[in-house]
Amino acid sequence: MSTPAADGFFMPPEWAPHTRCWMAWPCRKDLWGAGLDAACDAYAEVADAISQFEPVTMIARGDEVASVSMRTTAKVATLPLGHDDSWIRDNGPSFLVDRQGSLAAVDWVFNSWGEKYKPYDLDAAVAEVLLDRIKVRRYAAPLVLEGGAFHVDGEGTLIATEQCLLNPNRNPGKSREEIEQVLRDYLGIEKVIWLARGLVDDETDGHVDNLVTFVKPGVVLALSSGDADDANHPILQDALARLRAATDARGRSLEVIEVEQPKARYDEKGGRLALSYVNLYIANGGVVMPVFEDPQDQKAMDIVGKAFAGRKVVGVPALDIVAGGGGIHCITQQQPSGKAE
């Protein structure tokens, strides 16, 4: 059994050119409850926003294909494919390229964020079925991992949290060193920057894509909190300190651009919603970012616009998405330019 890195493959950064963006239509009724319809509207708005930059293909259950077509513009394509839930960042393939311009992908083991939602057998199969449809070489990785649990810069650096990757609900038998080795072998990275943990009440057990995103090699955009009494404050302070102390795979210190989190919001059960401006999607020539009917929204968009100079920044209201547990990065998956088999 070969590995992607041994075969010359690596994961390009999210800003490398894309062939398309994959999404999956909301459908898990026990997750969304009465919010399902509003979630569909919000997903459709995200799909339409991204489709101004690159093709979008929405996977949907057979009986939902017509609904997707009616609720999105004609630019959004639909692929009928069985699935359980709608967070394709996490259960979809992580696409790779090599120096020959060939495409491949990693299929991680998916266990529904530590067995939180069931059933998940269809979601666990989505990456394999999808790769078979588009004839892209698949590497099955011996690791429980979600795409939202890491970010790469395309130059050898990966950022993740200990809370998620070392969580006993994911890979209880594996050491930190063993996990790092799988990441090196399957994503072509050289160095892991470890943050401690994610936002409070984030049911992903601390996905890094709510804390920070790479803007380009050497530069990150990180969530911050100016309120010392906020429950996320010590978490974000620690993350910022670790990012500032880190050096990347090329030996560079990171430039850290801060963006203040929106004000706290809670769900019906009193749980803190995981609201993060950095849970955004980098499209060809654009950035699609979540906004939250918050006074900070415009300032956050300005910071993102300045960080991603030259890209058009589009804010999409995301409270109806966050109600399900994630942001815009969580519901999207880029397929970089490259040739299939």
* Residues near its own copies, by CB under 8 A: 8, 10, 12-13, 15-17, 99-101, 154-155, 216-217, 284, 336-339
Contact at 8 Å (CB) between 276 and 213? Answer: no
Shortest distance (Å) from residue 157 CB to its own copies: 12
Please give the Cα distance from 137 to 145 (Å, whole number).
Answer: 19
Q: How far apart are CA 209 and CA 277, in angstroms?
A: 10
Tell the smallest beta-carbon distance from residue 310 to its own copies (Å): 9
Cross-strand partners of 103:
97
Residue 292 CB, nearest approach to its own copies (Å): 30
Is 25 within 8 Å of 61 (Cβ atoms)? yes
In the complex with its own copies, which residue's Cβ is closer, 10 or 108? Answer: 10
Instruction: Pick the closer one to its own copies by CB: 93 or 154.
Output: 154
Cβ burial 307-337 (10 Å sphere, 16+ → b, else e):
bbeebebbbbebbbbbbbbbbbbbbbbbbbb
Q: For residue 7, which of 181, 130, 139 has the smallest C-alpha distance?
A: 139
DSSP helix/strand/coil, 24 = strand
Minimum gap (Å) between residue 71 Cβ and its own copies = 31
To its own copies, the closest distance from the beta carbon of 219 in angstroms equals 12
For its own copies, give the closer residue by CB, 21 or 165. Answer: 21
Smaller CB separation from its own copies, 99 or 269: 99
251 burial (CB, 10 Å; 0-12 / 13-18 / 19+) is exposed
Question: Could you give the residue numbers annotated as active site?
Answer: 330
Helix (H, G, I), strand (E, B) or coil at 321: helix
Quick one: 12 or 147, whose CB is closer to its own copies? 12
